[in-house]
Amino acid sequence: MKKLLALMLALCLTLPVCAALADDIEYEFEAEYTYLEGLEGLGVSGSPTGIGLASESSKASNEFYVGNLGVNSPITFKITSDQAAVATLKIPVGTNVLGAQKWNPTSFIITVNGEAIEYEEFETVPGDDVSDQ
């Protein structure tokens, strides 16, 4: 029986997402290849939407990342598996020029199979290069 895993990632993300399974196989999922149409972003000057949420950066995986995300711009990865598996989810997360941000399961919701997962709170701070944060 196939299980559908839906990872809904919202707020300020810089992706790709890596899922490492118990047998050390690693899969990488690029946010810029997800369905961005109809998503609304948060922006200091203007709010990008849809494909406008994807930006270029030489420091990002695949040289693109998705940013300016908010509650109206969840990123969804649908993964079909023929068996249940334990995985570790690794998500590079960045902060824009608004300053340091604290993230926790209430402010940054990640769901698997429709259920929110628990994780430890973490903090992000802006980088030195305003154009590449």
Domain ranges within the chain, ordered by starting residue: 3-132
Token pair belonging to 80: 């079909």
Q: Is the pTM of the predicted complex or chain greater than 0.85?
A: no
Token pair belonging to 54: 């994807």
Q: What is the DSSP string of 64-100?
A: EEE-S--TT--EEEEEEESS---EEEE------TT--
pLDDT digits (tens, 9 = 90+) for 80-116: 888 888 888 888 877 766 678 888 999 888 888 889 9
Token pair belonging to 56: 């270029």
In whole angstroms, give the CA distance from residue 44 to residue 54.
Answer: 16
